[in-house]
């Protein structure tokens, strides 16, 4: 029987994951199928269990089910535990293992694809939702000098900082957080993990937040640059979207499931073209 994988979400038609994983399978000579699976908003767990009963091997979990993915898992990887959310499930006889590869996808995109090192640099993370939380452990693990988490609702950023402070200390990274007006100046990397771009909005930051050579990274992606990217590009800041993160988190998931890490460069280039012609 061919190994079966799915991506579970609601909605799910937009997902590029079947294309990415089918290409990974082709490139690595793995025999598997990967399809979209729409779960009812109140039926995530029953959808997972039905897929397991059909012999499913694993699943990606996307919006709005990443927290439910965390709850349904019987065992969690350290990065899933730290993220408090799951984007990858693997099914064994009695076990459902949950992983979170989003943050590692972000760091790999910045460090490997863009060739920039976060080590010893000042990093500003915008947002305090699931994507921001999932990015913190992978960012700390490459040891920036300073990580500031800023959020529209300042308390959520402050709570995240309280939660991650011991981990920051163990990596020797200074951590702080607050609202937009508490953000200090002079960051080398500004990572937008808010969903503001979805609503055509931009976090309210003053220009001095960005070093001249700063990279502004929006986790969102699409056929056009996001409003965050457009605004900063006008101010001469280098900008990047989250398509590379999408492909790298998928490669990390593929490695978790199949034990082989696919090359991502050709798929990222092909995906960029696919998006631009849509
Ligand atoms: P989430 O849990 O719903 O969190 C949303 C965050 O955005 C919160 O911090 C929220 O602030 C903030 N926010 C929402 N609207 C805003 C606005 N108009 N102005 C300023 N802040 C605003 O969402 P998520 O799962 O973390 O996802 C965040 C983004 O990351 C999405 O755009 C998603 O597509 C992207 N993402 C990309 C990848 C990838 O592979 N490229 C992977 C995962 C996520 P409050 O706390 O004040 O509400």
163 and 253 assigned to the same domain: no
Measure 205 CA to ligand 1 centroid, in angstroms: 16
H helices of the chain, in order, are 17-28, 44-53, 66-72, 78-83, 102-108, 130-141, 154-171, 227-234, 243-258, 265-276
31 and 17 assigned to the same domain: yes
143 and 233 assigned to the same domain: yes
158 and 270 assigned to the same domain: no
234 and 113 assigned to the same domain: yes
Annotated ligand binding at 188? The verdict is: no
Q: Looking at the 3D structure of the chain, how many domains does it have?
A: 2
209 and 227 assigned to the same domain: yes
For residues 151 and 146, give the distance between their C-alpha atoms in angstroms, rounded to a whole number.
17
131 lines ligand 1 (CB under 6 A): yes
73 lines ligand 1 (CB under 6 A): no
CATH of the domain at 237: 3.40.50.720
- Please answer whether residues 264 and 247 qualify as being in contact, where contact means their C-beta atoms are separated by less than 8 angstroms: yes
Specify the residue with its C-alpha closest to ligand 1, atom 16.
Answer: 196
55 and 169 assigned to the same domain: no
Enclosing domain of residue 20: 3-100+244-276
CATH of the domain at 253: 3.40.50.10860
235 and 248 assigned to the same domain: no
Determine the atom of ligand 1 nearest the C-alpha atom of 242. 41
92 and 219 assigned to the same domain: no
195 lines ligand 1 (CB under 6 A): yes
65 and 121 assigned to the same domain: no
137 and 208 assigned to the same domain: yes
CB count within 10 Å of CB 57 equals 20
Annotated ligand binding at 127? The verdict is: yes
Each of the 278 residues of the chain gets a pLDDT tens digit; together they read 899 999 999 999 999 999 999 999 999 999 999 999 999 999 999 999 999 999 999 999 999 999 999 999 999 999 999 999 999 999 998 899 999 999 999 999 999 999 999 999 999 999 998 899 999 999 999 999 999 999 999 999 999 999 999 999 999 999 999 999 999 999 999 999 999 998 999 999 999 999 999 999 999 999 999 999 999 999 999 999 999 999 999 999 999 999 999 999 999 999 999 988 76
Q: Which residues are catalytic?
A: 66
215 and 258 assigned to the same domain: no
């Amino acid at each position: 029987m061919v190994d079966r994988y799915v991506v579970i979400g609601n909605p799910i038609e937009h997902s590029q994951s079947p294309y990415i994983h089918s290409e990974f399978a082709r490139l690595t000579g793995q025999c598997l199928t990967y399809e979209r699976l729409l779960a009812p908003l109140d039926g995530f767990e029953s959808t997972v269990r039905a897929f397991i009963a059909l012999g499913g091997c694993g699943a990606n979990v996307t919006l709005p089910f990443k927290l439910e993915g965390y709850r349904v898992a019987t065992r969690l990887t350290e990065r899933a535990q730290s993220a408090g959310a799951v984007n990858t499930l693997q099914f064994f006889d009695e076990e459902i293992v949950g992983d979170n590869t989003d943050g590692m996808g972000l760091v790999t995109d910045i460090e490997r694809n863009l060739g920039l090192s976060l080590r010893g640099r000042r990093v500003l993370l915008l947002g305090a939702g699931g994507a921001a939380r999932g990015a913190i452990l992978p960012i700390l693990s490459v040891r920036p000098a300073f990580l500031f988490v800023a959020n529209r609702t300042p308390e959520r950023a402050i709570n995240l900082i309280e939660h991650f402070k011991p981990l920051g200390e163990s990596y020797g990274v200074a951590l702080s957080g607050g609202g937009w007006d508490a953000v200090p100046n002079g960051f080398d990397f500004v990572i937008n993990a808010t969903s503001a771009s979805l609503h055509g909005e931009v976090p309210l930051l003053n220009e001095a937040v960005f070093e001249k050579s700063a990279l502004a990274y929006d986790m969102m992606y699409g056929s056009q640059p996001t409003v965050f990217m457009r605004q900063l590009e006008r101010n001469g800041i280098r900008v990047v979207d989250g398509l590379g993160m999408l492909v790298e988190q998928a490669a990390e998931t593929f490695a978790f499931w199949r034990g082989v890490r696919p090359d991502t460069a050709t798929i990222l280039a092909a995906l960029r073209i696919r998006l631009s012609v849509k």
